[in-house]
Amino acid sequence: MKLGFHVSISGSIDRSFDRATELGCSAFQIFTRNPRTWRSKELTTEEVRTFRCKHRSSGIGFVVSHMPYLPNLASPNETIYKKSVDSLIEETERCRELGIRYIVTHVGNHVGAGVEKGRTQLIEALGKAVDEGGLMILLENASSSGNHLGSKFSDLSDIADAVGGTRIGFCLDTCHAFAAGYNLTTEDGLKKTLHKIRETICFNKLKLVHLNDSVGVLASGVDHHDHIGLGHIGEEGFRRILASQLAKRPMIMEVPMDERRGGTENMAKVRELSKR
């Protein structure tokens, strides 16, 4: 099982490998730049060299980038939309330099302009950024809150089909799926969810799982992650998830770091629940 966390790049981007190794990760996720600003520092030749060197020597094969917080690929605001598209294109270039094969992106929020308008904006943005010869952009499912697109697997599949090509994949977030009404806690609920994945996005295009418990209840629309087993998906829910086909994909935890539990404790909990 490839398992890890979203880790910090504070100090220098290559230090993400040091932090991931300390946590016992066999996979990890990063922001390649400050996620809270539009501007980014250009990667230096030395940063790229050191990052690639540590990637080769670390034994950690799976590294994925996550898009920053500010971009909204479905925005009806022309300025925000252009900056968002430029940001996604820039991220593909940074990942290509670093040797990262996958970028996770939220599909966006139509901000009241309507689903069709937001969907059109998103498809156009992805079409501009997708690179048939290089990395893959992974669309992350949303929690169904507000005007966010992509809470249904069928919607994500339709978006990918509209973009076309082979360089669009998917990232399943367990918290978001649960909040959107996919019941991952019961045997029957998980079975139905897996069937829905197979008939829409397909398992061969599902490249990553964000393994997060949910503060909100089933179908609440609440996008609030919790520690593994401490939220409403619960230990039995994760025991089933970790015994399912989903565990064949790299799994990244985006859980809070607070006084209740740290990274190593969440790692230990997943390994405990994954034992047959």
Collect all residues with Cβ–Cβ distance below 8 Å to 252 and sequence separation of at least 6: 3, 4, 5, 6, 27, 28, 29, 64, 208, 209, 210, 211
Over 70: is that where the pLDDT of 133 sits? no
pLDDT at 155 over 80: yes
Please tell me whether residue 29 adopts helix, strand or coil conformation: strand
In order of 47, 58, 76, 111, 262, the CA distances from 117 in angstroms are 40, 44, 7, 10, 41
Q: Kindly report, residue by residue over 15-40, the tens digit of the pLDDT.
A: 999 999 999 999 999 999 999 999 99
- 64-79: b (≥16 Cβ within 10 Å) or e: bbbbbeebbbbbbeee
Q: What domains, with CATH codes, occur in the chain?
A: 3-274 (3.20.20.150)
Give dist(CA 264, CA 82) in Å, integer. Answer: 40
Q: Is 140 a catalytic residue?
A: yes
Which of 196, 192, 184, 197 minimizes the C-alpha distance to 240?
184
Catalytic member of 33, 94, 106, 148: 106
225 is catalytic: yes
Is residue 226 part of the annotated active site? The answer reads: no
Distance from C-alpha of 122 to C-alpha of 250, rounded to nearest angstrom: 26
Whether 173 is catalytic: yes
User: What local confidence, expressed as pLDDT, does residue 132 receive?
Assistant: 64
* 110 tagged catalytic: no
- Which residue in the list 6, 19, 119, 210 is annotated as catalytic? 210
* Among 33, 148, 225, 227, the one annotated catalytic: 225
Q: pLDDT of 121-132, one tens digit each?
A: 999 999 999 976
Q: What's the mean pLDDT when you consider all of the chain? A: 96
Residue of 6, 33, 55, 66 marked catalytic: 66
Mean pLDDT of 254-274: 95
Does pLDDT of 148 surpass 90?
yes
pLDDT on residue 131: 75
HEC sequence for 139-204: EECCCCCCCECCCCHHHHHHHHHHHCCCCEEEEEEHHHHHHCCCCCCCHHHHHHHHHHHHHCCCHH
Catalytic entry in 176, 232, 240, 249: 176
Please tell me which residue in 22, 46, 56, 69 is annotated as part of the active site: 69
- Which residue out of 14, 47, 91, 223 is catalytically annotated? 223
pLDDT of residue 276: 58
Active site residue 187: no
93 catalytic? Reply is no
Question: For the segment 50-107, what is each residue's pLDDT rounded down to a tens digit?
Answer: 999 999 999 999 999 999 999 999 999 999 999 999 999 999 999 999 999 999 999 9
Return the sign of the alpha-carbon dihedral for residues 134, 206, 104, 242. negative
